[in-house]
Amino acid sequence: MSSNSSPKLPYALDQQYLERVYAGVLGKIIGVYLGRPFEGWEYEQISNQLGDINYYVHEKLNVPLIVTDDDISGTFTFIRALEDYGYSKEITPAQIGHTWLNYIIDRKAILWWGGMGNSTEHTAFLRLKQGIEAPQSGSMELNSKVVAEQIGAQIFIDGWAMVAPGDPELAADLAKRAGSVSHDGEAIYGAQVIAALEAQAFVEKDRQALIDVAVSLIPKDSLIQRMIADLRELHSREPDWRKAFDFLSKHYGYNTYGGNCHMIPNHGLIIFSFLYGDDDFQKTMMIVNTLGWDTDCNAGNLGCLMGIKNGLEGINRGPDWRGPVADKLYLPTADGGRSISDAAAEAVYLANAGRQLHGLSPTYPKDGARFHFELPGSVQGFACEESIISTGTATVANSEGHSVNGARSLAIHFKALARGRTARVETPTFSPSAEISTYFTKRGYSLLASPTLYSGQTIRARIVADENNPTPVKCSLYIKHYNELDEFTLVSSEVVELQASKVHVLEWKVPDTRCYPIAFVGIQLEGKHGETGTVYLDFLDWTGEPEIQLNRPSERVVSRLNRDKGPIMWKSAWVDGLDGNERLTQMDFWPEPYRLIQNVGRGLLMQGTREWKNYRVTARMTPHMCEAGGLGIRVQGMTRYYALLISQDGARLVRSHEGKDTILASCDQGWKLGHQYELTLQAFENKLTAWINQEKILEEEDAECYYSSGAMALISQVGRIGCDFVEVQPAF
């Protein structure tokens, strides 16, 4: 295991590092989006129906481009073990396993839930829940050789490489620890090779030299080692990749290696495509996708490697891979406030994880602004609204300059503004449509997400008008929130007039959206006489605690006879960590808005973001039959939070960590089943205060201050609790 005293990395952890990580993140998501629509197809079927995969084919198959996917959500979630355990190079497999239990919601988040002995990751998750620590949870001893050697150890591994730039030994070591949570044997070796290739790609350009380094870190008698040697020899004598594929398919294909998705064929295809891709991003992606098998996994790993190795220039050389993606990605986990994300945000997170892993302080573009556009080409999800009033009125592009505290901004080029033609440029803050949510749920990877923006918070944006704008243009901030029809209602701030060369800093406290979640935030530009020009968005951010009620809206339009209508978006804003409500967030026929049902143990219904700090949550709860229930605050997943828990025997303030409670304070004031109670829990700095029916019952400081921020939760422990009122306010 690598030591904290390891030698200084031969790579500068600076802006160049951040940009290469960003290229790796982009390569990962582009590869996944490219290969996802035909995952599992064979070469012949792809060739016959789609031809060579030179570009995105999602429209041909009538599926979305930006999707929820385990390859993406696992990659950018499991790496958070570093943050949760203090950025230690000595992080253990057991700690990474606890990270799984914290961020994964059973049968709902991240993994393919194929069952014990069928899905390797589901099998390992069940072992972890049984109390079997990693690496035993992923061992052949428990799970058999064929189950333990499937592909999953490889597909989640890229983040561990990107925090170890220029240090393939550390990357391979971290990959072994992370992969062992769920896998063993050749699957671990494959993960180590990918991690080592990616880490070394920060400092080495030659493909053969990269492979030399990677294979030196796995056992010489391993099957992965032998296969890579065979593929390198094949590449030296057979220049035609189509002919060469016959060898790979015959000797290392699915017919030889069993299970649902074995490591060997797919790892072989990554190395094969890397060798035959002529160091070109498009050709490499074409080969790895055209040849089939686990296309999104393989293209995701290889896209990340090529992104790190050749940088943004390598991705930009060829077709427009980045435009349709616009940096967007989804991370559906128990930390729902992080589910709506983008490649720039994840790159900053990973680069800072790498810095802190090596004893350096984190750095944040533009003082930590959520949308900063500081990475070349980044648009962070911003695009022109697709509507009759706005489509075609504006385009966006990353631009140099026009920033007070950085080097880049988002250029908004608008044209022909007039009555009925308003330019709106926006980015998602929640699920972008009810239809998309329905599609994701049906395909097995639901978009578990909370909004990132709430009523009561203050949006701040800096706008610069281009010096060549011929006429002034009117500008405002806006949000779009869901309404009773699961459609959008637009609310905007006061209008300012943007004169050429002038700078405006817009500030707006988000008004009450009446329990409906906010789906978009954006910039609106208006004119009357065909105004055309450019404005630059330097940054956009928001701060403050929410001031919201999270109740059933008064406009209840779903009848009891229409239970399969689909998502009810105000309810879908909750991340459902209860095991008795498989469709809680998609139904609205109970008398109370929330019926919390937990069959075994403790379940959480969560909403909010990791940025919430000093606030209070109030709820009216009726315990019908339960061991205990109450409120969670500063919730950071399924096993990390503070809680007020009430039972018939009394009340207690607890700190839950890795599934174990520490009682901070307790009293004998409990509740009676069948009676309604108003519970309030407040966190301010390191002090927790609890009330029942507006009477203070408990107050205690957590001297260790485990959790300084996080979402809120409604909690049920073994039983049923009704809840008909929820309110979140700043602490006072």
Looking up residue 403, the CATH number of its domain turns out to be 2.60.120.260
pLDDT digits (tens, 9 = 90+) for 476-489: 999 999 999 999 99
pLDDT score, position 581: 58
Do 239 and 307 reside in the same domain of the chain? yes
In a domain, 84, yes or no: yes
Do 35 and 134 reside in the same domain of the chain? yes
Number of H helices, E strands in the chain: 22, 24
CA 383-386-388 angle, 5° bins:
140
Phi, psi of 129 (to 5 degrees): -65, -25
Residue 570 tokens, joined: 């105000």
Would you call 404 helix, strand, or coil by DSSP?
Answer: coil
Distance of CA 633 to the CA centre of its chain: 21
Ranges of the chain whose pLDDT falls below 50: 1-7, 558-564, 566, 582-583
In a domain, 713, yes or no: yes
d(CA 698, CA 380): 43
Q: Is the dihedral of CA 650, 653, 658, 660 positive or negative?
A: negative
- Range of 515's domain? 383-544
pLDDT score, position 258: 86
d(CA 114, CA 111): 9
- 468 burial (CB, 10 Å; 0-12 / 13-18 / 19+) is exposed
Query: Is-contact 344 375, C-beta < 8 A?
Result: yes
d(CA 250, CA 244): 10
**191 closest CA partner among 266, 136, 94, 104:** 266
pLDDT score, position 443: 83
In a domain, 115, yes or no: yes
* DSSP 8-state code for residue 319: S
Residue 239 tokens, joined: 């220049």
pLDDT score, position 2: 40
Q: What is the CATH number of the domain that holds 65?
A: 1.10.4080.10
Do 204 and 69 reside in the same domain of the chain? yes
pLDDT digits (tens, 9 = 90+) for 338-353: 999 999 999 999 999 9
Do 526 and 578 reside in the same domain of the chain? no
Query: Is-contact 603 579, C-beta < 8 A?
Result: yes
Q: What is the CATH number of the domain that holds 712?
A: 2.60.120.560
d(CA 424, CA 414): 9
pTM for this one?
0.96
Do 181 and 310 reside in the same domain of the chain? yes
Distance of CA 320 to the CA centre of its chain: 23
Do 615 and 530 reside in the same domain of the chain? no
Distances (CA, A) of 160 to 82, 85, 170, 176: 9, 14, 9, 10
In a domain, 4, yes or no: no
* DSSP 8-state code for residue 337: G
**409 closest CA partner among 358, 452, 345, 366:** 366
Do 471 and 600 reside in the same domain of the chain? no
Do 195 and 84 reside in the same domain of the chain? yes
Among 310, 330, 350, residue at a domain's last position? 330
pLDDT score, position 554: 78
In a domain, 557, yes or no: no
In a domain, 337, yes or no: no
Q: For strands 677-684 and 615-635, give the pairing.
A: antiparallel
In a domain, 82, yes or no: yes
- Give the count of beta carbons closer than 10 Å to the beta carbon of residue 505: 12
pLDDT score, position 568: 87
The answer to whether the bond into 135 is cis (omega within 30° of 0) is: yes
d(CA 374, CA 345): 11
Do 579 and 540 reside in the same domain of the chain? no
Do 176 and 216 reside in the same domain of the chain? yes
pLDDT score, position 556: 60
Distances (CA, A) of 514 to 518, 554, 678: 11, 9, 21
d(CA 730, CA 727): 10
d(CA 314, CA 278): 12
In a domain, 582, yes or no: yes
Among 544, 562, 591, residue at a domain's last position? 544
Do 399 and 449 reside in the same domain of the chain? yes
Among 544, 566, 595, residue at a domain's last position? 544
Phi, psi of 326 (to 5 degrees): 55, 30
> Could you give the number of structural domains in the chain?
3
d(CA 291, CA 700): 61
- 204 burial (CB, 10 Å; 0-12 / 13-18 / 19+) is middle
Do 157 and 99 reside in the same domain of the chain? yes
